[in-house]
Amino acid sequence: MKLERHVGGLSLARKANYLRARGWREEEGGWSNDIFGRQTLSRAIHHQLTDDLSQALRQRGWEVLGYSERGYVQLRDGEKGKPCSLPKALRTQARREKRPVAELTYALFLAAMVGTEEA
C-alpha cells in the first residue's frame, strides 16, 4: 500500500515544512535526517510518514518492533499479537475502530501535521 495516497496532495512547501519540523535538513539533491540518512523528497516523506503513523499506532496499543534498512516498520498488536507490516496494522486498527483505512490513516497524518505546525 502506498501510504502517501491516503494523505492527499501536499504542496512542495507543505512537504518541506513537514520534514523540517521533524528534523530533516534540505541539502543539494535531497533531504537528510540523523535516523534515515540522505533521501530524495519522496523517500523522505515516506520514511517520515511511516514513523509518524507507527508512533500513532503505538499510542493505540501497538508495539514498534523495529525498522528495516529501507524504512519499513514491523509492528505487533499488544504483547501477544503476531508481527506485521504497517499497512496490515492500519487495516487491523481501522477494522477495530469501524472506519475506513484511508480515513484512519488521514486522521493519524493530520494529527502528526498539526503537531509539526504547532512546534
Instruction: For 33-69, write each residue's pLDDT tens digit.
Output: 988 889 999 889 888 989 999 999 998 999 999 887 7
C-alpha 94/C-alpha 92 separation (Å) is 5
Give me the number of domains the chain comprises: 1
Spatial separation of the C-alpha atoms in residues 108 and 85, rounded to whole Å: 17
Banded model confidence at residue 14, pLDDT cuts 50, 70, 90: confident
pLDDT at 4: 55
Residue 102 has pLDDT above 70, yes or no: yes
pLDDT of 30 > 90? The answer is yes
| For the ranges 9-23, 80-94, 105-119, the one whose mean pLDDT is highest | 80-94
* pTM of the complete model: 0.81
Instruction: Give the pLDDT score at 97.
Output: 94
Instruction: Give residue 94's domain range.
Output: 3-118
- Predicted pLDDT of residue 8: 55
Quick count: other Cβ atoms within 10 Å of Cβ 31?
Answer: 24
Q: Give the sign of the dihedral formed by CA 67, CA 30, CA 48, CA 36.
A: positive
pLDDT band at 10 (very low <50, low <70, confident <90, very high): confident
Residue 86 DSSP symbol: H
Per-residue pLDDT band for 109 (boundaries 50, 70, 90) equals confident
* Per-residue exposure over 92-103, b if at least 16 CB sit within 10 Å of its own CB, e if not: bbbeeeeeebee
